[in-house]
A and B are shown apart, each in its own frame.
Chain A
């Protein structure tokens, strides 16, 4: 089984809809991250969490919110989706000791 899983893997939604992307991990890592990738670009950090009670904004947090339900679960919500949020979304985890990041398979989100 994959260590970092994301659901759904693909999603098409309409402008104005609320949508939640979920991430689960079995690696036992404290730190979790959400990134987005736009075509032809690198990844940009949306939010990160160093433990269940610690959540921080990344460089592009506007229009997004997150919830850290447990050490193993970190969800990303788009409260009112807009077309320019169409992107590939990645969840990642890292241990406290080395900060090496491990990525999930990604969620391809299309907002029409």
Chain B
């Protein structure tokens, strides 16, 4: 089955810094989402981005499906950005099941 790898596994930033999180996948995908899991365990939709680039405030994401990767950019990080960021992909076989990566754990220091 499709493999999803996220990097880095852990990241510590000072407030105000920028960062790039990466998601690599091993096969063609027809769906891709980025989520933020906050310290209370809730999963928050960030982007649905099977291809192209999207921006929402300080966050933006780019997926290059032909090269099998997606990037999540966080600018001017805030302490509330702390948590775990997951990439989830749906394979192109038509079943539309998501495979999750193991996440990037981000801690933003005040």
A residues sitting closer than 8 Å to B (CB atoms) are: 31, 33, 35, 40-45, 48, 58, 88, 90, 94, 98-103, 105-106, 108
Contacts and interface: CB of A to CB of B under 8 A. Distances in A.
Interface of B: 4, 30-31, 33, 35, 41-43, 45, 48, 86, 88, 90, 96-98, 100-103
Contacts of A101: 33, 45, 88, 98
A49 B57 CA distance: 34
Contacts of B42: 103, 105-106
B41 A106 contact: yes
Ordered nearest first, which 5 A-B pairs have the shortest CB separation?
A42-B100, A100-B48, A103-B43, A43-B100, A99-B96
B97 A88 contact: no
A42 B96 CA distance: 17
Given A105-B42, A106-B42, A108-B41, A99 B90 contact: yes
